[in-house]
Amino acid sequence: MSKVYTTQELIQILAAERQACLKGKRLKLEITVSGNPVIDQFISTDGLQQFTAYQDFKTAIHEYQKENRVSGIIWREVTVKGKNLHYPEIDTELIALNGDLEILKAAKNSIVEFWHEVSKGMDLYLSFNNSKQHQQIVTSDVERIVQRTEWASLCKWENSSFLEMILQLGWGKPEEAYYKRGRPRSGSEYIHAVNPGNRPIG
């Protein structure tokens, strides 16, 4: 029986392939920009060929994950204001299997509770327009979003004078929600908590 790669090994394989594609070592040569051979001869397609080669490789890895039941979950650790949380999320290059979604759903409440604890007294913003704009909201707005979503994740921006805690509240498949490709069946909302008077940067 052949060896089955682990989640971490798949992440490393994808990272190495991404680098090879970025360096031009992998190209999908049949890609054209316009489909018109007269126009295409004047347009550089290297970037598109590199991107497409990597996307094809990533799709093959996702199929491998399904066939061999290799989880897309990685475990994160976050520390904020002396409080720690160990929580699951899907690696941005992998997909979530059905069992992974159940793990994410089971972790949602503890992630949301941790975020509420560390964001007490902070200003809250909902991002929209691909995080280019932010609307100030209140805790009851957050609760409404929490009720209609299935899973959660966290992101922290911090330095000596600034703290931003981002709570991602999602539904459906995380790999579709991250890049807003799967709406309406998959998606997410981002709630930003910042110190009073600050604006979100994430």
Per-residue pLDDT at 48 = 53
Percent with pLDDT over 70 in the chain: 83
**Contact in structure between 118 and 83 (CB atoms under 8 Å):** yes
Give 45-110 as a 3 state SS string: CHHHHHHHHHHHHHHHHHHHHHHHCCCCEEEEEEEECCEEEEEEEECCCCCCCHHHHHHHHHHHHH
Q: How do residues 79-126 score in pLDDT, each as one tens digit?
A: 999 999 999 999 999 999 999 999 999 999 999 999 999 999 999 999
Q: How do residues 26-55 score in pLDDT, each as one tens digit?
A: 544 344 444 555 545 544 445 555 667 778
- What is the value of pTM for the model shown? 0.82
128 strand-pairing partners:
133
Statement: residue 62 has pLDDT above 70: yes
Q: How do residues 129-149 score in pLDDT, each as one tens digit?
A: 777 889 999 999 999 999 999
